Amino acid sequence: MKLGAFLMAPGHHPASWRHPSAAADLGANFKEYVKLAKAAESAKFDLLFLDDTVAVKDTSKDVGARLSRSAFFEPFTLLSGLAAVTERIGLVGTVSTTFNEPYNLARKFASLDLISSGRAGWNVVTSNNEEEAANFSSQKHLAHEKRYERAEEFMDVVLGLWHSFEDDAFLYDKSSGIYFQHDKMHVLDHSGQHYSVRGPLNVARSPQGHTVVVQAGASEPGRELAARTAEIVFAAQNSMEEARAFYSDMKGRVAKYGRTEDDMLILPGVLPIPGRTRAEAEDKFAELQQLIDLKVAISQLSHMIGNFDLSAFPPDGPLPEIPEANGNKSRQQLLVGMARRENLSIAELARRTAGGRGHWLVVGTASDIADQMEERFKGGAADGFNVLPATLPGGLEDFISMVVPELQRRGLFRTDYEGATLREHLGLKRPIAPWRQ
Amino acid sequence: MKLGAFLMAPGHHPASWRHPSAAADLGANFKEYVKLAKAAESAKFDLLFLDDTVAVKDTSKDVGARLSRSAFFEPFTLLSGLAAVTERIGLVGTVSTTFNEPYNLARKFASLDLISSGRAGWNVVTSNNEEEAANFSSQKHLAHEKRYERAEEFMDVVLGLWHSFEDDAFLYDKSSGIYFQHDKMHVLDHSGQHYSVRGPLNVARSPQGHTVVVQAGASEPGRELAARTAEIVFAAQNSMEEARAFYSDMKGRVAKYGRTEDDMLILPGVLPIPGRTRAEAEDKFAELQQLIDLKVAISQLSHMIGNFDLSAFPPDGPLPEIPEANGNKSRQQLLVGMARRENLSIAELARRTAGGRGHWLVVGTASDIADQMEERFKGGAADGFNVLPATLPGGLEDFISMVVPELQRRGLFRTDYEGATLREHLGLKRPIAPWRQ
């Protein structure tokens, strides 16, 4: 079973930062991030993961000033800092294809991959909100289909650039004066509909060949992009049934791209609230739920449901008709489906989803949590999990001290790293460069 | 006297990597960079500095494959890694305004500034070659004037974004649920000729207010941009006379922007070759000069003189007429002037400039080097120096073990850090935000 530690500052519960134990300033506190990364590494997590947004999404006084995700570290700089003080854990960061040039992105990941001796991963996102677009000299956000069309080409450019130099290209031969072997350098010369990039990339190849490619898109074009290129897929299905359906759908898509099922690991998110007893776990969760500001929860739901503002509707009334999202369509469908099925009011749906932000929430003892993870892992729903601690550092510490030992006892999770690179931790093949095919 | 350590991999002499002591793979060897950064910090350097290029400039077999600057770390990732393993030294990186979005750039520097607890510096460049443009979906490189016009606006956006939150904006008040004070957040709402950026930046303010701004442009628009915004100016004049003229010209330009002479430090580059005796220093230099490949030296000269290919001309003949550069005009004038004045052949000019890459080269004992640095420092030509080690790690180690103690003995250079941030090391004021003016 593979495990990721999703270290979103300051925790995944929207009220996390208000908990007495929480590092409320985690988004600006590098020393605290170092402790978390070291803790996750000592527990032998495969990777730590950072999400991203390139905007203060909500600048309002009533809601925005109460949100803990207003300001936080940029992923490349934070992961590079963490790379210098860790040895083995994978370092996966979210970076948008929409607001970056492929050469810059390919280069920063290649550089991070070298700095970390082969531990970098890129979570590919196409970005989904107007607040971000407003920071990038573009008035209108690109339509969903267009973003994915462009993302497909973006991926081709990045993958091509990562294969600029062969593993043994750099000779550093002091006597002959040959720095690299010219026939082991490959110029990309990409000229496509959206991008024109000559290459080669000016960074040497890393020990893992190239950065591991991660995807979380669950829409139709998102799934196709993932099936073609992703080596890890983060998933957000709640029920076992949905998780299995997603798992089997995704694994079924890879063959047409010449890939095997083992080339793509599926890691659903899990938001665990572990306690020594069930009562203790439930109390912990209740304590957090009580700290939720209803306005914040409704705003969060508005974003999750496709940037549709729900604050104008009566909180105790039903969910109104929601126009189809430009952003995360699949998450929108998930939430609307849940509300209709269970006949939830806006406030009820908001509080419910606030806790897990739409992710799979498991409250219970270490044994309860391990049971459910094992069931999904063995039941064809997951190759592992991306663990979303409710609070930081507390939620991570709890998972490490309670759930990890239980998973190890069952022989489900490693007790030490087997390899050195992220690719080795995950059992992923070294990528085959075009010049080898 | 302020000192920077310009850590260009693998040293500033073009044959540096072929020297027996050189770390030829420095551009892909993070551990070696960590040692260099720690050495510079233990010698109390104000800052370390990284240049940048977003292309493999020369992909030819004859020259390109013999160049050590083909592949190297990307500055943000490398500086962030170094930030995590150092405590006091400033971390200055070169990033182009031409191939980046201002929001991304402002954010990465703000994040690096937080990670390093206030030690970040940005060397603003507008980029000057077609090889880079070819990696960024643009066929033609922007003309020099246009680049600076855009850079001026770029700077306004970045500076504006860095002032998004006041120092004490983030309350993290767990009981009231107020994360930041709304009236201490400032939305930029920039809408200009080239950029349209709403803001605010989603990173908290760093201990030094914002990243220190550095510039090296010596052309007329470059000097004006520096006079308006730069807090450090890197200079490349060779003679005392030229250095003094540049110094006084630059200091004379700041008043019209409401700044004082102390707001802008001028640090000329110096490439020192120290020896226990003059003979030892000269032998060291001769050893390096002997390792220069003439084709490499002529190619380097071609780039420096404005990307004008000199390889087609007889190496023993005079410099041909060179068309006016689109890029670094001032450096072109410097080199052409030197060749005409001293009647140098292409090969002679190439070998001469190869050693110092157009920078001020000083070969001698620690006392000789300190004498010359002191003369310029006290003679109105420099507020300090950016030290360009000929080889790495050897050239830096030599400077630290020989020249630094001599400068300290003379009371010219600190024996310990006085402050914590780069701004404090340099004696620069904390920037005044627009909302305070």
A256 CB neighbour count, 10 Å cutoff: 10
Best of A52, A56, A94, A291 to disrupt the B interface by mutation (most B CBs within 10 Å)?
A56
CB B95 within 8 A of CB B123: yes
Residue B428 pLDDT exceeds 90? yes
Structure tokens of B289? 């000069």
Burial A112-147 (b: 16+ CB within 10 A, else e): bbbbbbbbbbbbbbbbbbbbbbbbbbeeebbebeeb
Q: Which residues numbered 317-356 in A keep a CB inside 8 Å of some CB on B?
A: none
φ, ψ for residue B38 (rounded to 5)? -65, -35
Question: Distance from CA of residue B421 to its chain's centroid?
Answer: 18
Q: Which residues pair with A49 in a beta bridge?
A: A6, A92
CB B219 within 8 A of CB B334: no
Place of tokens 């359906």: A245
pLDDT at B437: 63
Residue A381, exposed/middle/buried by CB under 10 A (0-12, 13-18, 19+)?
Answer: buried
CB B126 within 8 A of CB B120: no
Closest chain B residue to A68, measured at CA: B179
Structure tokens of B43? 């010698």
Local confidence band at A256 (pLDDT 50, 70, 90 cut-offs): very high
Q: Which fold has domain B2-275+359-436?
A: TIM Barrel (3.20.20)
Query: Is A199 within 8 Å of B135 when comparing Cβ atoms?
Result: yes
Contacts of A154 in chain B (CB under 8 A): none
pLDDT digits (tens, 9 = 90+) for B235-244: 988 899 999 9
Helix (H) or strand (E) holding A63: none
Q: Of A81-95, A106-120, B144-158, B349-363, give the lowest mean pLDDT range.
A: B349-363
Query: Is A293 within 8 Å of B204 when comparing Cβ atoms?
Result: no
Q: Closest to A65 (Cβ–Cβ): which among B78, B179, B198?
A: B179
- From CA A316, how far away is CA A90, in angstroms rounded? 44
Local confidence band at B139 (pLDDT 50, 70, 90 cut-offs): low
Query: Is B179 within 8 Å of A137 when comparing Cβ atoms?
Result: no
∠ Cα A160 A164 A165 (to 5°) = 145
Residue A411 pLDDT exceeds 80? yes
Q: Enumerate residues 6+ apart whose C-beta is below 8 A from B101.
A: A99, A100, A136, A137
* Cα-trace Rg, chain A: 22
Cα distance from A125 to chain B (closest Cα, Å)? 16
Contacts of B71 in chain A (CB under 8 A): 165, 170, 180, 201-204
Torsional sign, CA B390, B395, B400, B403: negative
Q: Of A93-97, B134-138, B398-402, give the lowest mean pLDDT range.
A: B134-138
- Put simply, whether A165 touches B (Cβ < 8 Å) is yes
- Put simply, whether B240 touches A (Cβ < 8 Å) is no
Three-state DSSP class for residue B179: strand
Please report how the helices A102-115 and A75-85 are oriented relative to each other, as an axis angle in degrees rounded to 10: 10
Q: How many helices (H) and strands (E) does chain A have?
A: 15, 13
- In the predicted model, what is the mean pLDDT of chain B? 94
Cα distance from A214 to chain B (closest Cα, Å)? 20
Q: Please compute the mean of the pLDDT values over residues B282-302 and round it to a whole number.
A: 93
- In the predicted model, what is the mean pLDDT of chain A? 94
- From CA B39, how far away is CA B29, in angstroms rounded? 16
Contacts of B194 in chain A (CB under 8 A): 137
Residue A179 pLDDT exceeds 60? yes
Residue A433 pLDDT exceeds 90? no
Query: Is A179 within 8 Å of B70 when comparing Cβ atoms?
Result: yes
Query: Is A77 within 8 Å of B34 when comparing Cβ atoms?
Result: no
Query: Is B174 within 8 Å of A20 when comparing Cβ atoms?
Result: yes
Q: Please compute the mean of the pLDDT values over residues A286-310 and round it to a whole number.
A: 91
Three-state DSSP class for residue B228: helix
Contacts of A187 in chain B (CB under 8 A): 59
Q: Please compute the mean of the pLDDT values over residues A171-183 and round it to a whole number.
A: 96
Cα distance from A421 to chain B (closest Cα, Å)? 16
pLDDT at A326: 73
Q: Closest to A77 (Cβ–Cβ): which among B76, B182, B198?
A: B76
pLDDT at A129: 79
Q: Which residues numbered 55-74 in B keep a CB inside 8 Å of some CB on A?
A: 55-56, 59-61, 64-68, 70-74
Q: Of A248-262, B180-194, B289-303, B398-412, give the lowest mean pLDDT range.
A: B289-303
CATH class of A2-276+358-430: alpha beta
- From CA A73, how far away is CA B317, in angstroms rounded? 55
Residue A356 pLDDT exceeds 80? no
The residue type found at B405 is P
> Measuring CA to CA, how many Å separate A302 from each of A11, A225, A333, A336?
20, 27, 13, 11
pLDDT at A437: 62
Three-state DSSP class for residue B13: coil
Place of tokens 């041909």: B320
Q: Closest to A103 (Cβ–Cβ): which among B114, B135, B185?
A: B135
Structure tokens of A109? 């990941």
- From CA A76, how far away is CA A355, in angstroms rounded? 28
Residue B138 pLDDT exceeds 90? no
Q: Please compute the mean of the pLDDT values over residues A226-233 and round it to a whole number.
A: 97
CB B376 within 8 A of CB B242: no
- Put simply, whether A28 touches B (Cβ < 8 Å) is yes
Residue A189 pLDDT exceeds 90? yes
Local confidence band at B141 (pLDDT 50, 70, 90 cut-offs): low
Cα distance from B392 to chain A (closest Cα, Å)? 14
Query: Is A104 within 8 Å of B54 when comparing Cβ atoms?
Result: yes
pLDDT digits (tens, 9 = 90+) for B200-245: 999 999 999 999 999 997 889 999 999 999 999 999 888 999 999 9
DSSP type of residue B207: T
Residue B11 pLDDT exceeds 60? yes
Local confidence band at A191 (pLDDT 50, 70, 90 cut-offs): very high
pLDDT at A57: 87
Closest chain A residue to B114, measured at CA: A28
Helix (H) or strand (E) holding A403: none
pLDDT digits (tens, 9 = 90+) for A120-150: 999 999 876 789 999 998 655 667 778 889 9
- Put simply, whether A84 touches B (Cβ < 8 Å) is yes
Q: Cis (ω within 30 of 0) for the bond into A221?
A: no
> Measuring CA to CA, how many Å separate B128 from each of A182, B13, B217, B218, B326?
25, 21, 11, 13, 7
Rounded to the nearest 10°, the torsion over CA B432, B433, B435, B437 is 30
Size of interface A-B (CB pairs under 8 A): 247
Residue A83 CB-half CA count within 13 A: 34
pLDDT digits (tens, 9 = 90+) for B17-69: 999 999 999 999 999 999 999 999 999 999 999 999 999 988 999 999 999 98
Could you please report the per-residue DSSP string of B407-422?
Answer: HHHTTSS-SS-SSSSH
Nearest partner of B362 among B245, B278, B241, judged by Cα: B278
- Domain spans of chain B? 2-275+359-436
Could you please report the per-residue DSSP string of B316-374?
Answer: TSB----PPPSS-HHHHHHHHHHHHHHT-BHHHHHHHHHHHTTSEEEEEEHHHHHHHHH
CB A421 within 8 A of CB A121: no
Residue B437 CB-half CA count within 13 A: 6
- Put simply, whether B199 touches A (Cβ < 8 Å) is yes
pLDDT digits (tens, 9 = 90+) for A267-292: 999 999 999 999 999 999 999 999 99
Contacts of B18 in chain A (CB under 8 A): 174-175, 177
Contacts of B203 in chain A (CB under 8 A): 28, 71-74
Contacts of A129 in chain B (CB under 8 A): none
* Cα-trace Rg, chain B: 22
Q: Enumerate residues 6+ apart whose C-beta is below 8 A from B401.
A: none
Q: Enumerate residues 6+ apart whose C-beta is below 8 A from A1.
A: A373, A377, A382, A383, A384, A385, A407, A412, A413
Nearest partner of B77 among B30, B128, B17, judged by Cα: B30
